[in-house]
Amino acid sequence: MVHDLKNYLLLLLLCLCLYLPGLFTIPPIDRDEARFAQATSQMLESGDFVQIRFQEEPRNKKPIGIYWLQAASVALSGTLEKREIWPYRIPSLLGAILSVLFLYAIGKRFLGVNAGLLGAAFCASTILLVFEAHNATTDAALLPTILAAQGALGRLYLRDDREKPDTAAFLVFWIAQAAGILIKGPITPLISLLTIGWLVAWDRKLRWLKGLRPLWGLALTAAIASPWAIAIGLATKGAFFQQSLGGDLLSKVAAGQESHGFVPGYYLLLAFVTLWPASFVAIPALSASWKSRSVPAIRFCLAWIIPAWVLFELVPTKLPHYILPVYPALCLLAAKTVLEALPSPAPGFRSWVSRFYCASCFAVPVVLGIGALAFPAVFDKRFEPLALLPAAISIGVAVFGARAYLSGRLARATVTAIVGSVLLLAPLLQWILPGVDGLWLSRTVANGARERAQGKVMLASSPYHEPSLVFLLGTQTLTTSPGRSALFLKQHPEGMALIGAAEDNLFKSEALRLGLPVHVVGSFRGFRYSGGRYMSLRLYTVDSESGSKGD
């Protein structure tokens, strides 16, 4: 029991070392994070905890769960008026930590304590989960519901005495389904159904499913999830379900939505990066696990991974985080492969295929280290001495980790990769990325506008319409056209207009037509990463003396 507690504390410490750096310093990320945070902020401002809006537009895409979690975090922190992003990220932080701890509990039951511990450590340090833990969106908050449901399902599948009811597994499974539905709709049930379908098709047995008690379970899930579903259906007259299911979900399944369509194989290629550091052993793990598929615990993990992975590859709309639900099971299999290579070096790691695979995986930390040097140089035109630290660490991880891997010493390569990732990511997330001003145009504009405002910032922006700017400056921020920006200043002489260089003449012409004397009080340039291009912006105000005469 004491040893078990130490393992949980060790994993908690690892999570904090990976997830806390950057949580408070990275500005709001466009576009999804800023949209979620702004919608939550408006929920707190309005007191309406049923409907979801971004400014005046209904946000009928995702269910209410993540907004409730973020609203609770912000309310407890007392930071609503400060427009700080970190309280909105707390549910993602806690979701990532809970996922790692749940995975350890699942892994030690399925594959043993050591495999559970290493698998959870792999999962905690994957680049994808580290990013999602810093991102105030649904995926990290959703992951513990998937793990809870899969853990309960695996417990029913693997238990010896299947005649005795397992009430705990029954309750955990169905409550997790309800929580997952409230956070991100069908994803948690989908993962469970795909796992069940694979196992039933493989074993040709249904008896173990009696432990789920489907009729009672569905009733429990409905009792938890349906009150809000009924409320939002009445409040929007059915528009929420029409837009979230028909407009958002089905459009992603039918075609690549919002320029995110990719061919099958996208997630497999991306896994070299997003699954790092577990990626360097993932392929050998899957190969070894397939040979051991007669073992029930291994078969369950494969049933968790394969059908879901195939489905995500076939769906036209692809985003990197969609594959996150299968990574925990893959990390468990990777951990088992590493441990089975002890105490002797694992065979078969000297072929050219192994060397190419190794080079591809261990190039990931090198790319991150180069990025630490490149970001300040490219976006701010400056050299950042602090970036030498992660750059040096990345080279050390690549050299020593790859050498250990190619000699078949997977345990040494694993320790190097995980510890090296912590040392590499911490300064990158805490100082280097947040310090690149050219990458955070909304933050630069918001700070400049606040410095020049005498009170509350009233701003119209064209064509820079990023949600992060709305979040940082408040719901009243107007994203509009050049002409309407000039009209806005006519109606609000104390306000400001943020105008892009390409629209500058249109704005000034309209201001002249309105008899509005405007002048530039600030200029900004930065990289609009959500649009993939640089932007030059000017901040205009009304001349105070002329403005007062016009009134």
Concatenating the DSSP letter of every residue in 348-396 gives: S--SHHHHHHHHHHHHHHHHHHHHHHHHHHHHSSS--GGGHHHHHHHHH
Q: What is the model's pLDDT at position 159? A: 87
| Positions of the chain with pLDDT lower than 50, given as ranges | 547-551
- Cα separation of 322 and 47, whole Å? 32
> To which H or E segment does residue 496 belong?
strand 496-500
Q: What is the model's pLDDT at position 162? A: 63
- Cα separation of 99 and 120, whole Å? 9
Signed CA dihedral, 320, 322, 323, 325: sign only:
positive
Q: What is the model's pLDDT at position 269? A: 92
Is 340:287 a contact under the CB 8 Å cutoff? no
Q: What is the model's pLDDT at position 346? A: 54
Contacts of 13 (CB under 8 A, 6+ apart): none
- Cα separation of 282 and 278, whole Å? 6
Q: What is the model's pLDDT at position 547? A: 43
What are the residue ranges spanned by the domains of the chain?
A: 2-238+267-340, 352-437, 440-550
> To which H or E segment does residue 526 belong?
strand 518-528
State the Cα angle at 326 between 324 and 327, rounded to 5°.
65
Q: What is the model's pLDDT at position 284? A: 84
Q: What is the model's pLDDT at position 549? A: 41
